[in-house]
Amino acid sequence: MIETIIGLIFHLDQNLSTVVQSYGIWTYLILFCIIFFETGFVITPFLPGDSLLFVSGAAAASGIMNLEILIAAVILGAVTGDTVNYWLGNYLGLHIFQKRFPNFIKKVYIDKTNGFYDKYGGATIFVARFVPLVRTFAPFLAGVGAMKYRRFLLYNVLGAVSWTLVVVLSGYYLGTFSIVKENMSLLILLVLAVTAGTILLILAGLIQAYRQTKKPEGQ
């Protein structure tokens, strides 16, 4: 199982078909676990997300995976992962960190996080789903910021469903073209490059929003 996951991480475009042939229906569980851990723990943002979904969609297009089961497994992994991450942030941020590291996690930081998620929490959770690294930390910070769970869950589900359908179906339909099959590695790099650009744009927007909140009233 561990060797399989490592193989998926470092050789997505080469090994997925071999994994499906070797593990059959258990492949969906492997995919569920990878997506769950990628979104569920702040220490595992290095696990594949977009690239894995895209390649899996292409695999479904070739007939070696069932598209409906694939989508269901990914959505379930994404929703449960974010949920675990939220509650870890809620418990660790509001209890352990404040008690054991009061000088590191000050109340003023928690208050600012609360204010941010009150205003932008829903959009942050939804948009972050499409951005590697950011989607790993956003639900944790939502828990730290005590974002209302019902609101968090709504945007968690909406983001997970949208992200899964967009990326998996992109792989499913584009994966039917021979030029895509022959250049899957380059396409994955392109996806990562676009993602990196998206991260910079979102960070710029968040910084601008933060600066606006710090301006004195009347300016």
Cβ-proximal residues to 19 (8 Å cutoff; 6+ apart), any chain: 4, 7, 8, 27, 30
Least confident of 29-43, 93-107, 169-183: 93-107
pLDDT confidence of residue 83: 94
| pTM (predicted TM-score) | 0.73
Least confident of 64-73, 162-171, 189-198: 189-198
Residue 166 has pLDDT above 80, yes or no: yes
Greater model confidence, 191 or 217? 191
